[in-house]
Homo-oligomer: A and B are copies of this chain.
Amino acid sequence: MIKVAGIPFDANSSFLKGSSYAPRRIRLMDIDGSANAFAENGLEVLNGVTYNDMGDINFANTNPAAAYETIHSFVATQLMPDDKLLCLGGDHSISFPIIAAYAKQYPDLHILHIDAHADLYDNFDDNPYSHASPFARIMEAGLAQSLTQVGIRTLNTHQREQAKRFGVHITAMKDFTPACIDAIKGPLYVSLDLDVLDPAFAPGVSHHEPGGLSTRQLLQLLQNIKVPVVGADIVEYNPTRDVHNMTAMVAYKLLKELIAIMV
């Protein structure tokens, strides 16, 4: 069974808050956004049929360590042997506790991380849970067999060194081709930061980084995945920056397409 859950936590964001409001806005598109429920491969994606919506997690406060525990424990509980989880963030810090829980069930887990930023900072503003650091934490803890990053276009010297240290496979945005993930292995976890898209396609994100993927290029990338996808997240949608819900519609479409490849 595929389960969808909202993880409305944005207190680890370095620049703007707002992604905690994302899950409810994405779900609104189901009814309010003029879209229908079909993925492009013809699958009808319905709550209660194709997937179960578990609603949103509650957070007692904004403490990062406590949030880690809340998310980790939720995922560990939900992730029954035949289950797959698709989480709607929240900021990118949520991927660390999710993948920590996944790693226990999937010791051979591989990660596809689609993003404008590598999120590999060793230390960002003294917050180990910062949304700038989840993949540093994940690789330090040995939670993945491999980490493949696609769409990156903001590498600085420090993160370049971190990538080398952790053996990350990076396809920078300037070298992007649809074939860049042909060698990826499964079981695969897909972590999708919406700012991998050019701000023209997804203005509703906290970090505008020009020169990104088009929505179509992203859809093709996802539709070309050939290995089993066992989990995924869609993070960093920020409704407070959106224009006419344009980005909410993109997130809703990606939700349908990810479910279509997870089934």
Contact = CB atoms under 8 A, between A and B. Distances in A.
Range class of the A interface residue count: 35 or more
Contact of A208 (B33, B153, B155, B160): B33
20 contacts: A15-B34, A16-B240, A28-B28, A32-B239, A34-B207, A34-B209, A35-B207, A38-B155, A42-B155, A61-B125, A61-B126, A63-B126, A199-B201, A200-B246, A203-B246, A208-B246, A209-B249, A210-B246, A211-B215, A211-B253
Interface string A218-259: 011001000000000000000111011110011001000000
Interface stretch (A17-25, A78-86, A92-100, A141-149): A17-25
Question: How many copies of the chain does the oligomer comprise?
Answer: 6
A21 B214 CA distance: 29
Contacts of A49: none
Contacts of A212: 215-216
A13 interface: yes
> Do most interface residues of chain A lie in helix, strand or loop, or is the interface mixed?
loop
Nearest to A173: B216
A183 to B, nearest CB: 23
A177 interface: no
A210 B253 contact: yes
A234 to B, nearest CB: 13
